Structure formats: structure tokens, C-alpha cells
Amino acid sequence: MKKYYLILLIFFAGCTKQKDGTHISSQSKDSLDLYLSLANEYKLPVQIKQKYNRKALEVIMGQPDDSLKRVYLFKVANRYFNMRDWNEYNKTVKIILEKAQKANDSVSMSKAYIYLGDYYTSQTSSDSAFAYYYKAEKLYLATDDFYNLAKTRLSKALLQFNEGDFYGSEKAVFNALRVIKGKKNNDVLYEAYNLLGILYNELGEYDKAIEFHNKAIASIDDKIIPVEFQSKATSLNNIGFVYQNLNDYKKANFYFKEGLKEKNLFNQKPELYAILLDNLAYSEFKLNQDHELPNLFYKALRIRDSLQLTAGITASKMHLSEYFASRKDTARALHYSNQALTVSKRTKNFRNVLVALKQLSLIQPEKASKFSEDYIRINDSLQKAERKMGDKFTRIEYETNEIKNENSSLEIQNRTLVYVFSIFSLIGLFFYIYKIQKAKNRELLFRQQQQIANEDIYNLMISQQNAIETMRIKEKKKVAQELHDGVLGRMFGVRISLDSLDKLDEDAAAEKRKKYLLELKEIEQDIREISHDLNKEKSGLINNFVAILEKLFQNQVNTFSTKLIYNIDSNIKWDLVGNVIKINLYRIVQEALQNGNKYAQAQTITVEFKNEINFLVLLISDDGIGFNIHKTKKGIGLQNIIYRTAECNGNVEIHSAKGEGTSIIVKIPIDQKINTIHNES
């Protein structure tokens, strides 16, 4: 049970956060300094100090994110630590760590790791605490910050001590002393000597314990160690505790009383004051000097209650139980023992559980076997846990030493790896760019070949159509020539012959001649009209693109049940439209008809070519099921329409909605002279 007094004391003596001496130059400086000062005023209630600390935090969070802001955030965290407001302390430190990582501030990062280690130590989460101390140690090793390296190793040593790894803790303390050897770091010396005194006390080496506690007192330097830490009172308590273990309660009493005489002890360290008071009461109880008992026990308990020191409350109640048991007041003894056992189980402080079980077995001998059974079971599991934790600490410590020894070689290896990785990355990037460029070249070549193929196909279609039309025109011209040169010539001869009859025949012959002449004129006129019609058809068939489109439309009508309505503006001068545009327009119409047939489920499809100022416009619409153009991914058909429009330097608009059909508007810019010709005509 008494081991707790030293652990608690050294924890707060060694880890209480110090004040920093930095300043802030802003309009909020006065209010910030005031808030921080009031948050650290020991005379104020905790709730009031928390209020001022929150105000200070609000002011700081409004400052720019720089190193000065992190310094002041550490001040806020320090005050939360001193108030034991662990939740706010943890939140503040994590804010600091996040900002330090963003700024790549290794100094603040390592300090934040130490603070988080202290937090998890306060929460008895040894694994997490040790992990954060380990992270801080790595950073301090990398930067040769020996002072903070020693402080971190002392924090680890204290953690190992609390977990029962006494030999590992002893080794860690001497490792800390080794890195500051020859330096006047009295605060580190004090913590190291004090912890060694406690260690040797637990190991039963009481002479060594007293020796190191005296060394600790000798190392106290008020210029380095703040007086409010009450370091001397701490060591006086620890020496008295050693004498308690030696059953020399008279000497123990002397040191406890000397510790209580330290100036401002109650105001600056109320928890230490309560420990000294409780230890003094226990020594007087053992010396049968009970004129101040149990009042001293009660006084210590009230202080611990006000500070919510759970473990301290348990200790006070165990002493009261022992005191009342010696006075044969079994009811009160049981009352305090049971309370101590309940609190210890709730807080999972198994060492205190063991002490409470031992005390209960003494008060209730009839239940001693049950208490002993519980005691043995918990003690065995506690020893196993301590051994397991000790092994874990040893493994982490080994890895830490390996990191220190291999630090230089790792830096070289890392640098080499960075160079090699960079070279391979550049090579990989080069091949990647090469492959991308090669793929683009292949795509460009494919498009060029496709364009050439399209033009060849179109020219072949045109050639075929031209051949057909040439033959038709040739035949029609031959017929027209025959009619004009042969028949009309003969008819003209007949008409001349008939004209000569006017001089020879009588009135009846004259009447008949006129009739023949009229008939011949009618024949002549009919033949002339036929000839003119043949020549007109030839002119209409010169425009082969329209014929090709009409053939496509005729195939659509013959193959599909969908009604097709089409119109081609007769004012369009197709002979002035380039073949590239014609083939792309043909393919767009072909693709749109295919989409309408295959997907749209349309009843009617409309295709229209219009001649507008500066533009040739193609309108295609259907009354099909439509689609959501914002959600539906465009298929290859629509992509082809967009691509072919772009090939003609035009633009396309696609409008559709579910249940509302689809419309496609393609606008191709054309030479102004096409419209000029149209206007002149």
C-alpha cells in the first residue's frame, strides 16, 4: 500500500508542467497574459481556473498558425494538467500535435508526444504512454537533444516502475544519467536520484535508497527547479517512507514533520501535503501517539476528496480501517476496507485491491480463506501482467537502442534509396510518356487512315453514281439527238412539201394542207418538249449527293416499319460543299437512323437539311423513348456524331429526356459564297 505514496508523488513532482517565458505581440496580449495567470492561480477554485483557461484558449486560437501559437497552446495544456482536467488536456495537446505536424515542427511534435505520454500515464494506459514516449525519444535521438532525451528516458523509467519492471526502470534511469553526464542539468539529476531512491526502497536496499534521496536533496537548485514544485518536501517524505519500511517510525515522523514545514506547501502542492499528513498520522499510529488521531487521517482524506485523488482516497480509507481495527471498532474498520476495495476495483488499481483484501482477511478471520483465495488469484495475474509488460518494455527499449546505433547508416541507406527511387521514377515516367505519345500517334494515324477510307468510300459511291448517270445521260442525249435531228428534220421536209401545195390545189386541198401543217407543228412541239425534258432531268441528276441520301432514305423505308419524313432544301449548293463534309453528314444521318431503329422505339423519324446564313444545318428528331443526357453515358454512336461534327468544325446539340424523344441539331459553317449564290438566284 505504501508504494503508492511514492509513485504518486514522483509522478507529479517529475511531470508537472513548467511555465514558459515566451511573449506574444498582439492586441490580445494583456488579456491573454491575465487569463493564463488566473488559470494558474492556486488560490482560485478549479472551476474558475478552467473558465479562464478556456478564455485563454479562445484568444490563442484566433492567432496565426505559427510557432508562437504552439508555445501558448502548450501553456494552456500545462494548466489543464495542473488542474487534472484530463479531457481538455488531451484535446489541447492533440491540437498542438496536428499543427506541429503540418508545420513539420519536430520540436513541438516531440514535446506533444511527451505530453500525450503523460496523459496516458495519468489514465493508467501504459502501452499507449510508452508508445508516445518512444516516439519522442526517436525525435530527440535524431536531433541530439540530450536534455530532453534524458527527460524522456526518465518518464519511461517511471512508467516501468509503476508497472513493476524495477530492473528495467533502474537501467532506464542510468541511461538518462549517462546522456547528461558532466552537464549541470539539476532538474534531471533530481528526478533521476529521486526515482532511484524509490526503486531501491522497493527492492529492499534501504541504505542505497536513503543515499540517493539525500543526493536528490543536494541537487536541488532553486534557479533551475521552481520552488512551487516542493522538491525538498518530496524527498523528505520519501526518506520518511524508507524509515517506515525499516519500522523506524520515530525517524520517519521526523522527516514527515520536516516536510510539512516547507513554505507554501499546502497552497502549491495540496496533494503532497495530504500524503505527508497521512504518512505522519500513520507513523504516530504505529508509535501509539494517538492524541491527534484519527483527525489527521480525516484531514488528509478531506483534502484528497476535494482533489478527487482516487488512489489517495483509497490509501486514507485503508489507514482508517487499520486504525479502527486496532481500536476493536470492527464496524468502522469493515466500512472503510469495503469502501477501499470497491473504489480499487472500479479504478482497476489491483495493488490496492490486494491491500484491501489483506486488510479484510485480518478484520474478518472467518472469511480469511475466501479473501486469501482472491488475493492469491489477483496477485498471480498481477505478477504475470507485470512480467508481460516488462518484456514488452524491454523489447521496445532494445529497438530504441538499435535505432540509435544504426541512425547514421539508416540515413545513408535512406538517401541512397531516395536516389535510386528517383532514378527509377524518372525512367518509369519517361517510358510512360513515350507509351502515351506512341498511343496518341497510333490514334492520329488511325483517324487519318479512317478519314482517307471514308473519302475513298464516298468517292467510289460518287464515281459509281456518276458512271450510272453518265450512261443514262448519254442514252438520253442520243435519243434527244435522234428526235431532234432525224424526226424533226423529216417532219420539217413534210411541212415544206405541204406548203408547196398552196399553189396547186383547190379549196379542199388547201383545207387539208392546213390540217396537216397544224398536226406537224404539234408533233414538232411535242418532240421539242421531250428533248427539253431529257436535258432538264440531266441537270437535276448532276447533284449525286442528294441521290445517295435518297437511296439511304429509300432503304430505311423499305427495311423498317418506322415512318420516315425527310426534306432537303433545294437551295443548298451541294457542288460547293466539300467531300469531307458530305461524307461526315452522310455518316451522321446513317448513325442517327440506326440509333432510332435500334434503341429509340420511335414511330416517326424526321430528317431535314436546311440552308441558313453561314451554316448548313442538319435536323434529326424522333418521337421515341428518349434518355437522360445528364445521367446516361454517351454510347459510341453519339460519340461518333460528336466527333464527325468536330471534324467539320461544326457544333452539335443533343436534346433528349425520358418519354420525350430525341433531337439532334448539327450546324456546319459554310462558305459565304454559297449563300451569295443562293441570294442571287
Question: 3-state DSSP helix/strand/coil percent for the chain, to nearest 5?
Answer: 75, 5, 20
Residue 391 lies in a domain: no
Rounded CA gap, 541 and 438, in Å?
A: 46
Q: Phi, psi (5° rounding) for residue 348?
A: 60, 35
Same-domain check for residues 26 and 170: yes
Rounded CA gap, 56 and 39, in Å?
A: 9
Q: Phi, psi (5° rounding) for residue 651?
A: -135, 155
Strand order in the sheet with 651-656: 563-568, 604-612, 615-622, 662-669, 651-656
The pLDDT, as a whole number, for residue 631 is 66
pTM score, whole prediction: 0.51
Residue 356 lies in a domain: no
Same-domain check for residues 594 and 609: yes
Same-domain check for residues 555 and 528: no
Residue 370 lies in a domain: no
Query: How confident is the model over 631-645, as a mean pLDDT?
Result: 75
Of 540, 573, 596, which residue constitutes the final position of a domain?
540
Same-domain check for residues 516 and 548: no
Contact between residue 597 and residue 562 where contact means Cβ atoms under 8 Å apart: yes
3-state secondary structure (DSSP) of residue 511: helix
Q: What is the pLDDT of residues 351-385, one digit of tens each?
A: 666 666 676 777 776 665 655 555 566 555 555 55
Residue 561 lies in a domain: yes
The pLDDT, as a whole number, for residue 1 is 39
Pairing of strands 615-622, 662-669: antiparallel
Here the CATH number for the domain that contains residue 616 is 3.30.565.10
Q: What does DSSP assign to residue 184? A: -
The pLDDT, as a whole number, for residue 391 is 52
Q: What is the pLDDT of residues 448-467, one digit of tens each?
A: 666 666 666 666 666 666 66
Rounded CA gap, 585 and 91, in Å?
A: 68
Here the CATH number for the domain that contains residue 129 is 1.25.40.10
Same-domain check for residues 450 and 528: yes
Residue for grid cell 479562445: 58
C-alpha cell belonging to residue 335: 466500512
3-state secondary structure (DSSP) of residue 627: coil
The pLDDT, as a whole number, for residue 137 is 86
Greatest mean pLDDT among 58-67, 344-353, 455-464, 469-478: 58-67
**3-state secondary structure string across 117-153:** HHHHHHCCCHHHHHHHHHHHHHHHHHHCCHHHHHHHH
Q: Is the pLDDT score of 17 beyond 60?
A: no
Residue 518 lies in a domain: yes
C-alpha cell belonging to residue 653: 446539340
pLDDT-based confidence at 607, cuts 50/70/90? very high
Rounded CA gap, 569 and 617, in Å?
A: 10
Q: Which residues partner with 90 through β-bridges?
A: none
Residue for grid cell 440531266: 538
Domains contained in the chain, number? 3
The pLDDT, as a whole number, for residue 5 is 43
Rounded CA gap, 234 and 210, in Å?
A: 13
The pLDDT, as a whole number, for residue 93 is 92
The pLDDT, as a whole number, for residue 430 is 80
Q: Which residues touch 583 (CB under 8 Å, ≥6 apart)?
A: 454, 455, 457, 458
656 backbone φψ class: left, alpha, beta (φ>0; ψ -120 to 50): beta
| Across 170-184, 191-205, 227-241, 266-280, least confident range | 170-184
Residue 335 lies in a domain: no
Query: How confident is the model over 143-155, as a mean pLDDT?
Result: 88
C-alpha cell belonging to residue 226: 521552481
Residue 650 lies in a domain: yes
The pLDDT, as a whole number, for residue 366 is 65
Q: What is the pLDDT of residues 536-592, one digit of tens each?
A: 544 444 457 888 888 888 888 888 888 899 999 888 888 888 888 888 888 899 888
Nearest Cα neighbor of 240 from 2, 43, 515, 585 is 2
124 backbone φψ class: left, alpha, beta (φ>0; ψ -120 to 50): left
In order of 283, 620, 660, the CA distances from 565 in angstroms are 114, 10, 18
Same-domain check for residues 13 and 161: yes
Query: How confident is the model over 601-610, as a mean pLDDT?
Result: 91
The pLDDT, as a whole number, for residue 411 is 59
Q: Which residues touch 73 (CB under 8 Å, ≥6 apart)?
A: 57, 60, 92, 95, 96, 99
Q: Is the pLDDT score of 238 beyond 90?
A: yes
3-state secondary structure (DSSP) of residue 665: strand
Rounded CA gap, 233 and 242, in Å?
A: 14
Q: Is the pLDDT score of 227 beyond 60?
A: yes
3-state secondary structure (DSSP) of residue 147: helix
Rounded CA gap, 462 and 674, in Å?
A: 21
Q: Is the pLDDT score of 3 beyond 50?
A: no
Rounded CA gap, 227 and 487, in Å?
A: 140
Percent of the chain with pLDDT over 90: 19
Contact between residue 60 and residue 76 where contact means Cβ atoms under 8 Å apart: yes
Q: Is the pLDDT score of 168 beyond 70?
A: yes
**Residue 416 burial (C-beta neighbours within 10 Å; 0-12, 13-18, 19+):** exposed
Rounded CA gap, 468 and 462, in Å?
A: 10
**Residue 249 burial (C-beta neighbours within 10 Å; 0-12, 13-18, 19+):** buried
Rounded CA gap, 121 and 130, in Å?
A: 8
The pLDDT, as a whole number, for residue 405 is 53
Q: What does DSSP assign to residue 561? A: S
Of 123, 154, 176, which residue constitutes the final position of a domain?
176
Which secondary-structure segment (H or E) carries 662?
Answer: strand 662-669
Rounded CA gap, 188 and 219, in Å?
A: 9
Same-domain check for residues 33 and 135: yes
Same-domain check for residues 451 and 584: no
Rounded CA gap, 97 and 140, in Å?
A: 16
Question: What's the one-letter identity of residue 101?
Answer: Q
Same-domain check for residues 611 and 501: no
Angle at 22 between CA 19 and CA 28, to 5 degrees: 105
Q: Phi, psi (5° rounding) for residue 541?
A: -90, 0
Q: Which domain holds residue 17?
A: 1-176
Tell me if the bond preceding 669 is cis, omega within 30° of 0. no
Same-domain check for residues 579 and 666: yes
Residue 53 lies in a domain: yes
Same-domain check for residues 571 and 643: yes
Rounded CA gap, 157 and 462, in Å?
A: 96
649 vs 437, higher pLDDT: 649
In order of 224, 233, 234, 581, the CA distances from 261 in angstroms are 22, 8, 12, 106
Of 523, 540, 557, which residue constitutes the final position of a domain?
540
C-alpha cell belonging to residue 266: 499546502
651 vs 673, higher pLDDT: 651
Which secondary-structure segment (H or E) carries 162?
Answer: helix 146-162
Same-domain check for residues 510 and 566: no
